[in-house]
Structure 1
Amino acid sequence: MLMQSDHVKFRPLEPDDAAVFLRWSEDRQVTQYSLSQYVWPQALSDIRSWLASIHQGTTSFTVGVCCHKTGKLIGYAGISRMNQINRSGEFFILIGEPHYWGRGIGTDVTQVISDYGFTSLNLHRIELTAYVTNLAAIRAYEKAGYHHEGILRDAGFRNGQYLDKVVMAVLATDWQGIR
């Protein structure tokens, strides 16, 4: 698997990346829109164990996102909940280094991972959810070719309130010509 773009390159995640993930998990600005696992304090040993196990399953694909110029790990992304019968999966991304936000990297990563999902994993549909308040992510997904499909009402709890999530998806038949 050799994937890269003008902004980033990708590599497998390793247990030695645990300290970086711990730092990200402790930064509420980084994790405010992330998966619920970041709501609770994380132990370095738990993160290391998780990183050691992520490449073992067949229902998810996860890679580290690195700065193309420096090689520094700046996030991770992939496709989870892959279903071979339905040929579908759910895209996810976290750019853990705020210095890299607002530079088009989210759009770039979304396009590369989605392309891999369609061309190498033979998926037909890739969906995602995002908090409706995460406008930067929604714009990145729109630029990457994802379409709005609906709203999940009160689907997440952050900062003492329930928030809606937008559901977005792209189909392999839509993807032709995007990249």
Structure 2
Amino acid sequence: MIDVYIRPLEEKDAYTSVLWRNNPEIWKYTGSRPDQNITLEMELTWIKEAIKRPNEKRFAICIAKNDTYVGNVQLTHITKTEAQFHIFIGESDYWGKGIGTSATGQLLKYGMDTLALSSIYLYVNEENKAAIKSYLNNGFEIEGSEGNQIKMVYNKS
């Protein structure tokens, strides 16, 4: 398995993430996707605003061996007790290598230990079998579904 770490998202990450925003393959299974070509200026503005939001914690996923930035993982809609989880691996060369599973585990630990949340939830497209498997491996449980979206919840044990 590839060793990864997460670090707070930084403005400089926009120079890489803007490429991902314009790759439709990355957004294949997501509920929200860009509806226009994203420019570097738009991405920089988005990151500057996103990292300031008090109810969001956004992180870059990096490969430990070479510090390569390969994706994002975040908690949004943070309250005193819960938050919503999101993740994507932007570098397709790193898909299917367990990076998402490792980054998910790290963010769950952060959410439970540092933020003292009692639960973290997510929505995943029912066709995204690899993501569902990763979430189950990290302790998420299926709570229900609506349309093609499955709601999964991780509860503090």
Say yes or no: does 1:167 pair with 2:151.
yes
How much has 1:37 moved relative to structure 2? 3.8
Question: How far apart are 1:67 and its partner, in Å?
Answer: 0.7
Structure 2 counterparts to residues 135-174 of structure 1, below 5 A: 135-153=129-147, 164-173=148-157
Classify the secondary structure of the residue corresponding to 1:141: helix
C-alpha displacement at 1:12, in angstroms? 2.1
Whether 2:100 is the aligned partner of 1:106: answer yes
Unaligned runs of 5+ in 2: none
* Structure ranking higher on relative contact order (CA contacts 8 Å, 6+ apart): 2
TM-score, length of structure 1 as denominator length: 0.83
User: What is the TM-score with the length of structure 2 in the denominator?
Assistant: 0.93
Alignment RMSD = 1.5
Paired residues in the alignment total 157
Larger Rg: 1
* Identity across the alignment (%): 27
For 2:42 and 2:23, the matched residues in 1 are separated by 17
Task: Give 5+ residue unaligned stretches, structure 1.
Answer: 154-163, 174-179
- 2:75 pairs, out of 74, 79, 100, with 79
Question: 12-21 vs 132-141, which deviates more?
Answer: 12-21
Residue number among 44, 56, 72 corresponding to 1:48 in the alignment: 44
Moved more, 124-133 or 14-23: 14-23
